Structure 1
């Protein structure tokens, strides 16, 4: 089962990393200023992770790939790391789908 891990940035904002059961980061949120904000983000990720329409795979200028997870309103709620192939990015999407819905917050 996956889990969310809290990270503090140098500017004091808090972000969440969704980790797979083998502790690999598979999705990262934007920075938040409060626990209430990141808790809402965590619930949005859990809710939208199973919906194929919420994922957009994108190509970088150097022909690598990443994906965004969007909420129902179209705002980006998480981004993946960089993948060498589009197929690998698709496997990353599958990992989020498997791990996010039941993920807990690991503090």
Structure 2
């Protein structure tokens, strides 16, 4: 199985995307978007920015866990990772987004719900 973006509806009715690695694990999630077109633009932004490590913001949570954000060139957060227990696993998550994001196919789960 190859990496893919999934577009889905949140409980609030907004559109979200998640990037899943080939093993099915979610490696990046989005904020909510009011339209599917804006959600698709978010995916396009991931594809464009994931190639460059300078757009990744490494974070440490208050409880000593690790995460990252992928930011656009204007500084806006495009996607957020899960929380990791080690820096190495967080950095592997960044590498996975960099490797998988630019070429991942898009699956629209909202179309299945209509």
TM-score by length of 2: 0.91
Cα offset, 1:91, TM superposition: 0.3
Cα offset, 1:78, TM superposition: 0.3
Cα offset, 1:77, TM superposition: 0.2
Q: Distance in 1 between the 2:101 and 2:46 partners?
A: 7
Q: Distance in 1 between the 2:41 and 2:7 partners?
A: 14
Unaligned segments of structure 2, at least 5 residues: 109-114
What CA deviation, in whole Å up to 9, does each residue of 1:32-56 have, x standing for no partner? 1111101110000000001110001
Runs of 4+ in 1 over 2 A off after TM superposition: none
What CA deviation, in whole Å up to 9, does each residue of 1:61-95 have, x standing for no partner? 10000000000111100000000011110000000
2:76 aligned partner? 75
TM-score by length of 1: 0.96
1:105 aligned partner? 106
**Does 2:37 correspond to 1:29?**
no
RMSD: 0.8
Given that residues 64 and 83 in structure 1 are in contact (C-alpha distance below 8 angstroms), is that contact kept between their aligned partners in structure 2?
A: yes
Unaligned segments of structure 1, at least 5 residues: none
Aligned pairs, how many? Answer: 107
Q: More helix by proportion, 1 or 2?
A: 2
